[in-house]
Amino acid sequence: MTISEPEARSAGLDGRAADPVRAQAEAVAALIRPYAERMDEQEAFAPEVLEMLTSKAVWRNVHGEHLGAAGLGRQCRWIEAIATSCTSTAVLVQSQLTVAHTLELSGTAGVEGLLEGMRQGVIWGWGLTEPEAGSDILGMTTTARREGSDFVIGGSKRFISNAGMSDYYLVFARTSAERNSRSLSAFVVPAATPGLTVTRYETKMGLRASRTGDLSLDEVRVPASALVGEPGAGFGLAINTLRWSRPLIGAVSLGVARGAFAELASRVAPDASALRRLGDEEQGRGHQLAELLLQLTAASALLYEVADRADSEGVLPAMWRASAAKAFCSDTAMRIAGAAVELAGLEAAADGSRPGRYFRDAKVLQIFEGTNQIQKNAIVRELLDADVAHLGTARV
């Protein structure tokens, strides 16, 4: 018995072959895989990959044919599969679903039209983070003041995914001087709006094909119809969107973990004799591989318990569950990618190394969308809630 790459990627994760959603996503991921290292080196998406996301119906599958049609579990399965091949492409898909969910939560008139554009490949950026307002959303200083039938937005945004390649940005801004949950609002801002500029791009350790940059908003004027939801709804929209998007980052991380495990297994057990040695005279190494497989399987079980439970109950995941999925899956990706790099040795340090790319991407995923320390803070804050209080006696 030998461990082939597809077998190694899916080892221990039940039900993959029988799942038509996963099978379709894996087929697309296989088409993306040959581009991944080149896109990482060039720090840009290949036009062929962007076109593929539309022509292979990725956007239509992940957004669903109508409002609310695609559940969190379905979206996670697509993102996980793509991330086994290219983390940056998976993050591009995740970022669009983050925006889409904010729009859906808002109940704004015309949301279905905006989502149809996204199904056809219109790209958005989610403009929340600022230089002095990362984890502390209420520290936001970007403002939007009402002038007649318009809003005028001024300020700056930091670490914005898809900067410079987005057709639209969903921009959060302060509409009240008070520091409370009703002081922020969200706006749809076309990228071509006068006064909106990309001021710099990040050179990142990982997710290198995914453009990340800073935005400047200098007296950016948008009509009142650009308001997403009610005035003052921005904080609630952002927080509730994170309850959806953090499991999506967990799915990206799980895909990286699977890809890294495949690299590791193909080196440790390239043939039947090597596999037999892991069970006999090289049991130490065999146990290491088994331990990583246990962690990979546990990460998958946690992610899909959170996602599928949310879908079956028809509610957003509790914040502690969303944070747990993101933190555990990204920590698992880092652990497995680290083992793959150690085994690959100098090869992992070379340009174009797949184990090296997984390692760099995994580290960014531990930081991205709120550091894992922030995720643990969110879990601790909910320890007194009924959902978490009886861990020893109740189903959680």
Q: What is the dihedral angle through the alpha carbons of 10, 375, 159, 145, rounded to the nearest 10 degrees?
A: 130
Q: Which residues of 165-181 are buried (b: 16+ CB within 10 A; e: fewer)?
A: bbebbbbbbbbeeeeee
The residues assigned a catalytic role are 369
Place of tokens 């409002």: 67
What whole-number distance in Å separates Cα of residue 368 and Cα of residue 249?
8
Q: Which residues of 153-164 are buried (b: 16+ CB within 10 A; e: fewer)?
A: bbbbbbbbbbbe
Continuous H helices in 12-56: 20-32, 36-42, 47-55
Q: Please state, in angstroms and as integers, the Cα–Cα distance from residue 314 to each residue in 5, 44, 68, 250, following that order.
A: 36, 37, 10, 20
- DSSP string covering 297-339: HHHHHHHHHHHHHHHHHTSPPPHHHHHHHHHHHHHHHHHHHHH
Report the relative pairing of strands 168-174 and 196-201 from DSSP bridges.
unpaired
3-state secondary structure of 181: coil
Residues facing 130 on adjacent strands: 133
What whole-number distance in Å separates Cα of residue 77 and Cα of residue 253?
12
Cβ-based burial of 132 (10 A; exposed 0-12, middle 13-18, buried ≥19): exposed
